[in-house]
């Protein structure tokens, strides 16, 4: 068992070696070939638009981090079966379906640096193909033969939908608090990370304690991942992010950087934020002013600090598993998620 302590608080703007997902990609490459074969096969349909539209997003340069976490978790616990291939593909289909639906709800133009499916094919087609992928994911869950895994992933799908509705009803509400914000990202992002990791322990019939540890790893990683996403919306650009910079600002989303800046601002600053969140201040000049306010209140720095906190919790969650390549890759995946801030 490991006694090594891995700390995230030593990461800085110019780390000596930038963390990456490469160790995890290498670790699961053989299993990922099997998962990709399942994905390609289950995207097929007699209706040509379905594989065309789904393939646009699935083949669009995404890291496939969630299914890779399923595969890495299986290696961490020594599972040697094949059920996790089907479940990893199901996880990717759930994720892709939610992205298709999200882009329709948000009216997004870019996804991973490419035009979104709803811009190319329209909103109705994107919604319906998303529904198709959800259906395929449930077929895969059933074929995997684990009732418990089916229960986890089906419950997670419902939680994600609840999180998206919660976010929708919270849009353009400047009074959104940090607690509700964390509820939203815990549901719409972290829940699938958690389930992706946990289901490997389920199909491997591992003890509940190992299930809980992998669930905690994925959940905390997911929160850290989303916190960084929300922060870099104000400090990055479209080429880096693969989406338009300032999208969250223009959509009136109360993400953590805005929540902190609003709470710490002057009366004049709060009046600006109220107008911006409610859609009355959305020009490029307004975005630049928002960025200045976020920086001056240290809201960005503190959001990154929160991400490191949750990332550390993720790393600590798997401390009890044996040392080796799977554990190292999963630790570096956390470091990568947080280091995207830099």
Q: Could you read off the pLDDT of 19-71 as tens digits, one per residue?
A: 999 999 999 999 999 999 999 999 999 999 999 998 888 776 577 999 999 99
Calpha distance 217→312 (Å, rounded)? 9
- Least confident span in 78-82, 157-161, 187-191, 337-341: 337-341
Residue 196: C-alpha distances to residues 32, 75, 218, 273, 332 (Å)? 14, 13, 7, 37, 17
Q: How confident is the model at residue 279 (pLDDT cuts 50, 70, 90)?
A: very high
Q: Give a yes or no: residue 317 inside a domain.
A: yes
Q: How many folded domains does the chain comprise? A: 1
CATH of the domain at 79: 1.10.600.10
- 228-273: per-residue pLDDT in tens? 999 998 987 655 555 567 888 998 999 999 999 999 999 999 999 9
Query: Would you say residue 211 lies in a domain?
Result: yes
Backbone torsions φ then ψ of 35, nearest 5 degrees: -65, -45
Is 10 inside a domain boundary? Answer: no
Closest CA to 236 of 129, 113, 78: 113
Q: Full-prediction pTM beyond 0.75?
A: yes
Domain of residue 172 covers 22-339
13 within a domain of the structure (yes/no): no
pLDDT of 2: 42
Contacts of 116 by beta carbon, 8 Å cutoff, 6+ apart? 103, 108, 109, 110, 126
Reduced to 3 states (helix: H, G, I; strand: E, B; else coil), residue 204 is coil
Packing angle, helices 123-144 and 49-58, rounded to 10: 80
Cβ–Cβ < 8 Å for 321, 213: yes
**16 inside domain:** no
Confidence check: pLDDT of 5 > 70:
no
Q: Can you list the alpha helix ranges (DSSP code H) found in 44-188? A: 49-58, 65-76, 83-106, 117-121, 123-144, 147-170, 178-185
- Write down the pLDDT at residue 61: 58
Smallest Cα–Cα separation from 112: which of 104, 103, 121?
Answer: 103
- Within-domain flag for 4: no
**Dihedral angle over CA of 257, 260, 264, 265, nearest 10:** 40
Q: Report which of 22, 99, 131, 112 is spatially closest to residue 68, judged by C-alpha positions.
A: 22
* Residue 176 scores a pLDDT above 80: yes
Mean pLDDT (whole number) for 171-180:
93
| Residue 1, pLDDT above cutoff 90 | no
Residues 259, 188: Cα–Cα separation, whole Å: 18
Residue 10 has pLDDT above 70, yes or no: no
Q: Is residue 2 part of a domain?
A: no
Q: Which residue has the higher pLDDT, 2 or 145?
A: 145
Residue 77 clears pLDDT 70, i.e. is over it? yes
The predicted pLDDT at position 114 comes to 78
Per residue in 305-319, pLDDT tens?
999 999 999 999 999
Q: Give a yes or no: residue 14 inside a domain.
A: no
């Amino acid at each position: 068992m490991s006694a090594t302590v891995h700390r995230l608080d030593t990461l800085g703007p110019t780390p000596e070696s930038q963390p990456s997902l490469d160790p995890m990609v290498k670790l699961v490459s053989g299993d990922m070939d099997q998962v990709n074969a399942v994905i390609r096969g289950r995207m097929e349909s007699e209706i040509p638009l379905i594989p065309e539209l789904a393939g646009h997003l699935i083949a669009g340069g995404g890291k496939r981090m969630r299914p890779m976490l399923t595969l890495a978790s299986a290696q961490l616990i020594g599972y040697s079966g094949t059920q996790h291939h089907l479940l990893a593909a199901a996880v990717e289909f759930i994720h892709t379906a939610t992205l298709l639906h999200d882009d329709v709800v948000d009216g997004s133009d870019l996804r991973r640096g490419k035009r979104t499916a709803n811009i190319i094919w329209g909103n109705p087609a994107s919604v319906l193909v998303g529904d198709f992928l959800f259906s395929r994911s449930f077929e895969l869950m059933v074929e995997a033969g684990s009732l418990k895994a089916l229960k986890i992933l089906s419950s997670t799908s419902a939680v994600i939908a609840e999180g998206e509705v919660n976010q929708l009803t919270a849009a353009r509400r400047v009074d959104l608090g940090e607690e509700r914000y964390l509820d939203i990202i815990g549901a719409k992002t972290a829940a699938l990370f958690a389930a992706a990791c946990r289901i490997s322990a389920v199909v491997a019939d591992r003890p509940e304690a190992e299930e809980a540890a992998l669930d905690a790893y994925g959940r905390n990683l997911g929160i850290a991942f989303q916190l960084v996403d929300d922060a870099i919306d104000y400090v990055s650009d479209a080429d880096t992010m693969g989406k338009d910079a300032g999208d969250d600002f223009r959509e009136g989303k109360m993400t953590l950087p805005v929540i902190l800046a609003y709470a710490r601002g002057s009366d004049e600053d709060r009046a600006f934020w109220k107008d911006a969140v409610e859609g009355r201040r959305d020009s490029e000049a307004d975005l630049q002013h928002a960025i200045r306010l976020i920086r001056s209140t240290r809201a960005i720095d503190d959001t990154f600090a929160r991400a490191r906190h949750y990332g550390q919790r993720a790393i600590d969650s798997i401390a009890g598993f044996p040392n080796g390549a799977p554990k190292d890759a999963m630790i570096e995946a956390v470091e990568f998620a947080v280091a995207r801030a830099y």
